[in-house]
Amino acid sequence: MPHWTELIAEKKQRQLKSIPQEWLVSPPPDSTLDVTGFPETCGLLTAREIEITNTSVDVLLEKLACGEWTAVDVTTAFYKRAVVAHQFVNCLTEIFVDRALARAAELDDHFIRTGKVVGPLHGLPISLKDQLCIKGLETTMGYVSWIGRYAEKNAVLVDILIECGAVPFVRTNLPQTVMWPESFNNIFGRTTNPHNRSLTPGGSSGGEGALIALKGSPLGVGSDIGGSIRIPSSFCGLYSLRPSYGRVPYCGALNSLEGQDSVHSVFGPMTNSVGGVKAFMKAVVNAKPWLKDPLAVRKRWHEDEYNLADHGYGKDLCFAIMWDDGVVVPHPPIRRSLEITKAALEKAGHKVVDWKPIKHRLLADTTRSIWNAASSEDYMMTTSATGEPIIATMELDDSDATAAPFRPKKIGITAYQLWQAQKLRRDIRKEYLDHWEATSSETGTGRPVDAIICPASSYAATPHGKNRYTNYTTVWNALDYPATTFPVTTVDPTLDAKKPRRVFYDDFDKGIHEMYDPEIFKNAPVCLQLVGRTLEEEAIIKMTEIVDGALAAAK
């Protein structure tokens, strides 16, 4: 067996060979932090390709459906931009240009012959996190041990996207084990944030976040067990959705902690518009995934739920803002984004109240107890084949290692102890349900609060290795509440000056406060979450559109 470092070298060589030579550009020097403008000035993309790649998913689908743009043209444009993005931020794992263009040509041929689209996502290039198996390709998930393992069939979601007319065209980077909120592994290395390359794009779907922020993909699929769709989306300025368990099929994809059936990982969309989130969800759930995945929920797209039938049809909505979670107080840019959103919603005629969080620390700690029940064993079993080291920090410099939020702290617990953790979580879910129902007394609508608006993180994108707190996303995984992200603003050192605080929840809260320096976080996007109740994907997509519209009108 070759040494694990040799396996990496061979894999990296193959990745480099998969990039068309004529698509290689001269990347800016490392000292250039914001690279968001470079894809359009690097000289590789034509004016038409720039136009295509700056187009939202809704409009792309319209132009593809009427034949104005071909699938080959759209796929080529995004592929070129994706490869350019990769040269700036190291976001891709698998690159398979010929295969994707052959698929796009088939779609164009079908359209020419029949005058019809193959499905609702006809011709749309879609990027996939490196967990979603594609027949004939490796899926390493950042593990050296999985180099050379070629998939014998597609993951169910890949089959469904193909059935809907999409063009899977790249796979994207993630951390070893996928249980980190940043994106670094021993094979492909570190992905950086295109808004500021000294900052992390987040994780574990950080390759998707960085790629879509550079408009190298119109829509990508990430996964989320504790925030892995929403953290990179918020750090990179994207719209996204963490759906409820089973709404989007997971069958046939790779994962860590397989067999941990309590707090499930879910797949969901990441994109540059809320319309993209809707297009993905509507297409996937209407393809009846429950006929291909036994864990998929039998629920088609409900138009009346999207029209907010359960929420007064969207008239006089009542949103609750969670200013902090009772554990860590967010940095000034996050606070400002909450204030902007509150003012915009009130101006649009909606009611806004405060959300009182209950037991968030306990809920997140219990969730980590469930993951950590056997996570160390899981990682050791996977890495043992090659002797690849298990990564212990996301720091650039190992001497400054900090405890990471998703990682195991001890080896295993008994089955009985696991049951107690699962029971505690179940009981808190009931308390939270009752807590939400009780808000009907303060909304003035006769209904409980329609949705919660809260931070996606206590900070904007952090320097590499410093993303140490994920409870703002993880609690909603534990409760199985669907949540979107939406962009509000960016860090502005003038507006977001550091404010002194005298009172802290504890030393950890104080440490998070002290890491804030507006110059370090400069230009980082600031997003928030909108949280609904289990299986309310349609409603929270609509409410995100309403919030997005209110923010645009207020500007």
**DSSP helix/strand/coil, 327:** coil
Supply φ then ψ for residue 121, to 5 degrees: -110, 25
Distance CA 144, CA 127 (A): 22
- Cα→Cα distances 271→364, 445, 457, Å: 27, 33, 19
Q: Where are the beta strands (DSSP E) in 217-372?
A: 219-224, 239-242, 266-271, 318-321, 351-354
C-alpha separations of 154 from 71, 114, 174, 219 in Å: 21, 27, 19, 19
Q: Give bridge partners of residue 150 from the DSSP assignment.
A: 138
Active-site choice (204, 273, 337, 369) = 204
Tell me, yes or no, if 18 is annotated catalytic.
no
Which residue's entry shows tokens 């594609």?
134
Q: Which one of the listed residues 11, 80, 127, 129 is annotated catalytic?
A: 129
Angle between the 360-371 and 471-479 helix axes, to the nearest 10 degrees?
80
CA gap 284, 153 in Å, rounded: 19
Spatial separation of the C-alpha atoms in residues 509 and 95, rounded to whole Å:
42
Q: Helix (H, G, I), strand (E, B), or coil: what is residue 549?
A: helix
- What DSSP string runs through 423-482? HHHHHHHHHHHHHHHTTHHHHSSSS--SEEEEESSSSSSPBTT-----HHHHHHHHHT--
User: What is the distance between the alpha carbons of residues 402 and 528, in angstroms, rounded to a whole number?
Assistant: 25
Torsion 312-318-320-321 (CA) sign: positive
In eight-state DSSP terms, residue 261 is -
Q: Is residue 256 flagged as an active site residue?
A: no
Ramachandran angles phi, psi of 321, nearest 5°: -100, 130
Q: Which of 228, 234, 244, 458 is catalytic?
A: 228
- Residues designated as active site: 129, 204, 228
